[in-house]
Structure 1
Amino acid sequence: MSPQHAAAPLATPDEFRAALSQLAAGVALLTVLDRDDLGPGEAAGMTATSFLSVSLEPPLVLVSVREDSRMDELLSRSDLWAVSLLGEEHRTIASRFAMKGRLSDRLLFADTPHQAGPTTGAPLITGALATVECRTEQRIAAGDHTLLIGRVLEALVPAPDARPLLYFRGGYRKLG
């Protein structure tokens, strides 16, 4: 690395956040079924905007989860998870699952229309634009996040004409 590059200051977290807020992102709900030996397991979920396609052959996706979060812990124990791509009508769901100090996942799912994924058992949001069920292929530590690369086991498009929910400049937005 050249000396001029080594001395270059890093962007502050606030500068970085402000710059990336200019990129519109789709909104997804990442879900997992926390299975244990004592019962059927409990659903957990979190709103995510860091979700993307990695490969078509094989079908792989990537999602970013805050390191040391409850979701990171659950996904370290279970390699099966799902993602529901949310539409405009899911704004309340996205907000509720993104809140800090929120209600328990059990209460949130009791009030959220969903069904168990046929492959993973993880909750899939009713009316989602699309859903994918995945098995973790790789976990990568990256700064204060864990990147999960998942092999897509099942992909469905139950609402092909629905309009996406977007996240832009720190808030949820609609197209148009």
Structure 2
Amino acid sequence: MSPQSSTAPLASPDEFRAALSQLAAGVALVTVRDAGEDAGMTATSFLSVSLEPPLVLISVREDSRMDELLSRVDRWAVSLLGEQHRTIASRFAMKGRLSDRLLFADTPHTPGPATGAPLVTGALATVECHTEQRIAAGDHTLLIGRVLEARVPAPDGRPLLYFRGGYRKLG
């Protein structure tokens, strides 16, 4: 590393957030089942890592409830949300929100066959994963998951997107 790069100023969190808000991202619900209870969080940081073997990555805020759960439970699921799931995405993204038990009571879902974690009814696609690796990265934890099951229950659905700080639709 050159001396110049180690002293270069860093972008502020606000500058960084503003720059990345220009990238449209799909919206997903990451879920886990732990000790008979379901938990979930809205995520826009979900991506494919590898086809052989099938691996995906999620990013979870360090010291969050979901980070704690995923440190104990090594199986989790992701439901890729469609336009009709905007309310679900908003509710699971709220700070100081209702309990997960109440949120899932109002969210149509079924338990995943490989993980038992909730899969959102009508999701564009679902994947169920086993944690392969946890990586500390700044104020987040990256989880790389081996895909155990992948389904496309709504192949003609339209995705829910997150762009410039809000949910959007294609078109």
TM-score (norm 1): 0.96
Identity in percent: 89
1:27 lines up with 2:20 in the alignment:
no
Report how far residue 34 of structure 1 moved.
1.0
Equivalent in the alignment of 1:99: 94
| Secondary structure of the corresponding residue to residue 128 of structure 1 | coil
Corresponding residue to 2:142 among 122, 147, 162: 147
1:82 and 1:171 mapped to 2: Cα distance? 24
Report how far residue 5 of structure 1 moved.
1.8
The structure 1 segments of at least 4 consecutive aligned residues displaced by more than 3 Å after TM superposition are none
Equivalent in the alignment of 1:17: 17
2:89 and 2:4 mapped to 1: Cα distance? 43
| Secondary structure of the corresponding residue to residue 97 of structure 2 | coil
Alignment of 1:71-82 (within 5 A): 71-82=66-77
Q: Which runs of 5+ in 1 are unaligned?
A: 36-40
- Tell me the alpha carbon deviations over residues 140-175 of structure 1, each in whole angstroms, 9 at most, x when there is no partner: 000000000000000000000000000000000000
Q: Which runs of 5+ in 2 are unaligned?
A: none
Give me the CA root mean square deviation: 0.5
2:20 and 2:57 mapped to 1: Cα distance? 18
| Secondary structure of the corresponding residue to residue 106 of structure 1 | helix
- Tell me the alpha carbon deviations over residues 63-110 of structure 1, each in whole angstroms, 9 at most, x when there is no partner: 000000000000001000000000000000000000000000000000
2:111 and 2:98 mapped to 1: Cα distance? 21
Q: How many aligned residue pairs are there?
A: 171
Report how far residue 6 of structure 1 moved.
2.1
Instruction: Read off the aligned partner of 1:25 and give its amino acid letter.
Output: A
1:8 lines up with 2:8 in the alignment:
yes
| Secondary structure of the corresponding residue to residue 65 of structure 1 | strand
1:58 and 1:66 mapped to 2: Cα distance? 26
1:111 and 1:129 mapped to 2: Cα distance? 19
2:84 and 2:34 mapped to 1: Cα distance? 27
1:165 lines up with 2:160 in the alignment:
yes
TM-score (norm 2): 0.99
Report how far residue 2 of structure 1 moved.
1.8
1:151 and 1:62 mapped to 2: Cα distance? 9
